[in-house]
Chains A and B, each alone.
Chain A
Amino acid sequence: MTPPPVFDPVIHAPGRLQICAILSSVDEAEFALIRDTIKVSDSVLSKHLKQLEDAGYITLTKTPVDGRSRTWASLTPAGKKAFAAHVAELNRLAALTQAPVLGKGFSG
């Protein structure tokens, strides 16, 4: 079921929107994969992840691999709901901004 549309300023920032797009596609994704996909630096990604974590939208877990710690991120149920509501709002707004263009065409 599609949740009611709600604009979420935490999610709307371009970097965080992309992170949520990735995490909504998989159960969990590793830091390096997210960084390489959205093409940001480690520090920028860390900042975005921290903001999403503080909002309760993602959980971060660290697992040791070959003596190094790797960070994994996943959307929480609240994060999934917020992202779906935000996307619903984007769709609603996109539909609204399309309407005048169509109307203009008819009015000549």
Chain B
Amino acid sequence: MSEAPDPREALASIQSTREGMTERMTHPVGYDLVCAAICGLMVASQGLQKPWSLVALLAAMAALGGCVHWWKSRFGWWVNGYAPKRAGRVAYGMAVMLVVLIGVTMWGRGAGILWMPLATGSAAFVLSILGGRLWMHVWKRELAEADG
């Protein structure tokens, strides 16, 4: 590319740079599994009595913080999941569903349904894996289609 690119050349450069970035943006399935396990345990632990449910919630939040730290040091970039327009909707949708699952678990604890944490925790595990992969897919498309 020349030192003073023409507009179309410059726009193409932006596009190809972003494509170069997204090609690097792959992550191991193990990361999804670990994050999903943390989310599953966070939801399921709300079936425990207080203060253990609160302790487990805080531990899960700290573990998710550890995942963020690992990601940043491994890949050298970070993006707030809620910030992009379309991918952000996926993140908010996931957050709402996890909160609902936590609510159902707590209701199950009150109602004395012993298997409820297992069911909601498993649902949170699956939701986190699918949601994480969906988020990445939507975000990459969003980047590819962005013009600025």
Q: B109 on the interface (CB 8 Å rule)?
A: no
Q: B75 on the interface (CB 8 Å rule)?
A: yes
0/1 interface trace, chain B 60-99, chain A, CB 8 Å (1 if under): 0000000000001101111110010000000000000000
Q: A57 on the interface (CB 8 Å rule)?
A: no
Which range holds the interface residue count of chain B? 20 to 34
Say yes or no: B76 contacts A33, CB within 8 Å: yes
B8 partner residues in chain A, CB cutoff 8 A: 94, 97
- Which of A13, A17, A22, A32 has a CB less than 8 Å from the CB of B21? A22
Q: Contacts A18-B17, A37-B24, A91-B148 known; A25 to B11 CB distance under 8 Å? A: no
B10 partner residues in chain A, CB cutoff 8 A: 12, 14, 17, 90
Which range holds the interface residue count of chain A? 20 to 34
Interface majority SS on A: helix, strand, loop or mixed? Answer: helix
Which residues of B come within 8 Å of A, CB atoms?
1-8, 10-11, 13-14, 17-18, 20-21, 24, 72-73, 75-80, 83, 143, 146-148
Extra A-B contacts (10), CB below 8 Å, given A12-B10, A18-B13: A12-B4, A14-B5, A21-B14, A24-B148, A25-B79, A26-B21, A27-B83, A28-B77, A33-B77, A90-B7
- In the complex, 5 of the A-B residue pairs with CB atoms within 8 angstroms, ordered by the A residue number, are A22-B18, A25-B146, A26-B78, A30-B76, A32-B76
Which residues of A come within 8 Å of B, CB atoms?
2, 12-14, 17-18, 21-22, 24-30, 32-33, 37-38, 65, 83-84, 87-91, 93-94, 97
